[in-house]
């Protein structure tokens, strides 16, 4: 939304920012439930929350939403593609078409005012507070649909985008049947909140702290601790340099759990046309050349 004002007789377009109350409510509610979960702590609930977090997120979000559907780094049969998108929605990844469209927008305008989570506006804006405001790109369907012409006509994906929230809500019922309110709180709210922050660290930390293998036009970095938490997504400078690659860890020691899953599915014949990086494009950099040290 914009309005027109004048400065010394010249019209100036000023954006009217509107608070996104649903996002604010659900983010606040999820964090409140994490606090509520503390007295319900049990080791088995904690263990299962971590198993589900690090077992499912690399498949649903990293492989499904990101590397396969957003960037085409690998191909699977349509039923398998739909399965991984559904898994990503069920574990709390958000509306898949919005996710893909906004991520493509991010790559097009990375670290510029048009980037939906522009890291040049500070850590907290890139990490979470950008979600507190309405974005015209998200609100106007024609805008975000223009970024997903390959997906826009898929009726199931469009339905999933509108109704995705039904799946994580239904999972809360399953967790209750499995282990009562303790499992609802830990396998549901604690796990999802941790997953969201790990995903958000890719938007924030990996545009600020780390080292660079490639001279990309943005501020992306490779941040080892984000890569470990996010199953390879923290090798973000590598990813921005070669977006289509299904492998984000380019050096031998850059561990990429999600790529191991990609390789497994390739070996059993489920994944095909797997894109890999052109390592000849990497330029060796010294610590003094890097924007930050690997230990950051």
Phi-psi region of 122 (alpha: psi -120 to 50; beta: other; left: phi over 0): left
- Total H helices, total E strands in the chain: 13, 2
pLDDT at 65 > cutoff 90: yes
Q: How far apart are CA 53 and CA 79, in angstroms?
A: 23
| pLDDT beyond 70 at 4 | no
CA-based nearest residue to 64, from 31, 90, 39:
90
Residue 141's pLDDT is 83
pLDDT over 90 at 281, yes or no: no
Domain assignment present for residue 47? The answer is yes
Residue with the larger pLDDT of the pair 40 and 282: 40
Residue pLDDT, tens place only, 126-143: 999 999 998 887 888 888
- Res 144: pLDDT: 85
Mean model confidence pLDDT for the chain: 90
Element (H, E) at 13: strand 10-15
Note whether residue 10 is domain-resident.
Answer: no
Predicted pLDDT at 283? 61
Q: How confident is the model at residue 274 (pLDDT cuts 50, 70, 90)?
A: very high
The first and second tokens of residue 277, run together, are 């990086």
Residue 208 has pLDDT above 90, yes or no: yes
Q: What does pTM read for this prediction?
A: 0.87
- Name 191's Cβ contacts closer than 8 Å, sequence gap at least 6: 49, 50, 52, 53, 91, 92
Give the number of other Cβ atoms within 10 Å of residue 192's Cβ: 23
Q: What is the 3-state secondary structure (H, E, C) of 99-161?
A: HHHHHHHHHHCCCCCCCCCCHHHCHHHHHCHHHHECCHHHHCHHHHHCCCCCCCCCHHHHHHH
**What is the Cα–Cα distance from 28 to 275, expressed in whole angstroms?**
39
Q: What is the pLDDT of residue 279?
A: 82
Check residue 12 and give its pLDDT: 38
> What's the pLDDT score for residue 254?
97
* Separation of alpha carbons 53 and 192, rounded Å: 8
Percentage of the chain surpassing pLDDT 90? Answer: 82
Using one digit for the tens of pLDDT, what is the confidence trace for 236-255? 999 999 999 999 999 999 99
Contacts of 95 (CB under 8 A, 6+ apart): 89, 160, 161, 162, 164
Residue 118, pLDDT > 90, answer yes
Domain interval for residue 52:
19-281
C-alpha to C-alpha distance for 92 and 62, rounded to whole angstroms: 13
- Token pair recorded at residue 281: 């494009």
Q: What percent of the chain has pLDDT over 70?
A: 90
Rounded average pLDDT over 192-219:
96
Q: Look at residue 219 and tell me if it is in a domain.
A: yes
Compute the distance between CA of residue 121 and CA of residue 112 in angstroms, rounded to an integer. 9
Which of 45-54, 56-65, 198-207, 275-284 shows the lowest per-residue confidence on average (mean pLDDT)?
275-284
Q: Which tens digit of pLDDT belongs to each residue from 175-188?
A: 999 999 999 999 99
Q: How many domains does the chain have?
A: 1
29 domain-assigned: yes
Q: CA-to-CA distance for 222 and 296, rounded, in angstroms? A: 10
For 25-46, write each residue's pLDDT tens digit: 999 999 999 999 999 999 999 9
Q: Cα 128 to chain center, whole Å?
A: 12
Instruction: Name the band, by pLDDT with cuts 50, 70 and 90, for residue 230.
Output: very high
Say what the pLDDT of residue 140 is: 86
Please indicate, yes or no, if residue 108 is contained in any of the structural domains.
yes
| 8 A C-beta contact, residue 2 and residue 16 | yes
Please give the pLDDT value at position 6: 41
CB 219 within 8 A of CB 204: no
Ramachandran sector of residue 9 (left: φ over 0; alpha: ψ -120 to 50; beta: rest): left
In a domain, 208, yes or no: yes
Query: Is 290 within the bounds of a domain?
Result: no
pLDDT at 30: 95
Give the mean pLDDT of 92-103.
95
User: Are 200 and 128 a contacting pair, CB within 8 Å?
Assistant: yes
- Flag whether 180 is in a domain: yes
Contact status, residue 107 vs residue 240, Cβ threshold 8 Å: yes
- CA distances to 73, 113, 133, 134, 223 from 130, rounded to whole Å, are 28, 12, 6, 8, 22
């Amino acid at each position: 939304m914009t309005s027109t004002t004048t400065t010394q007789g010249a019209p100036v377009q000023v954006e009217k920012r509107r608070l996104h109350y649903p996002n604010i409510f659900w983010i606040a509610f999820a964090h409140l439930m994490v606090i509520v979960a503390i007295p319900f702590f049990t080791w088995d609930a904690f263990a299962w929350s971590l198993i589900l977090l690090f077992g499912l997120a690399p498949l649903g979000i990293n492989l499904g939403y990101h590397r396969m559907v957003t960037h085409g780094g690998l191909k699977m049969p349509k039923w398998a593609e739909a399965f991984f998108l559904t898994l990503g929605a069920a574990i709390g990844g958000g509306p898949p078409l919005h996710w893909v469209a906004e991520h493509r927008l991010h790559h097009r305008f990375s670290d510029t005012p048009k980037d939906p989570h522009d890291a040049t506006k500070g850590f907290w804006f890139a990490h979470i507070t950008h979600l507190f405001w309405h974005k015209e790109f998200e609100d106007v369907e024609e805008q975000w649909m223009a970024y997903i012409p390959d997906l826009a006509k898929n009726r199931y994906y469009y339905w999933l985008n509108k109704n995705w929230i039904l799946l994580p809500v239904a999972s809360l019922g399953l967790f209750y049947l499995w282990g009562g309110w303790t499992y609802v709180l830990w396998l549901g709210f604690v796990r999802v909140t941790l997953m969201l922050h790990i995903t958000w660290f890719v938007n924030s930390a990996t545009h600020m702290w780390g080292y660079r293998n490639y001279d990309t036009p943005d501020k992306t970095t490779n941040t080892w601790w984000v890569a470990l938490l996010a199953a390879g997504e923290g090798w973000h400078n590598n990813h921005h340099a070669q977006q289509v690659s299904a492998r984000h860890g380019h050096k031998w020691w850059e561990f990429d759990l999600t790529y191991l899953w990609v390789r497994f599915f390739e070996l059993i014949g489920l994944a095909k046309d797997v894109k890999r990086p052109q390592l000849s494009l990497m330029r060796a950099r010294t610590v003094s050349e890097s924007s930050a040290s690997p230990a950051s």
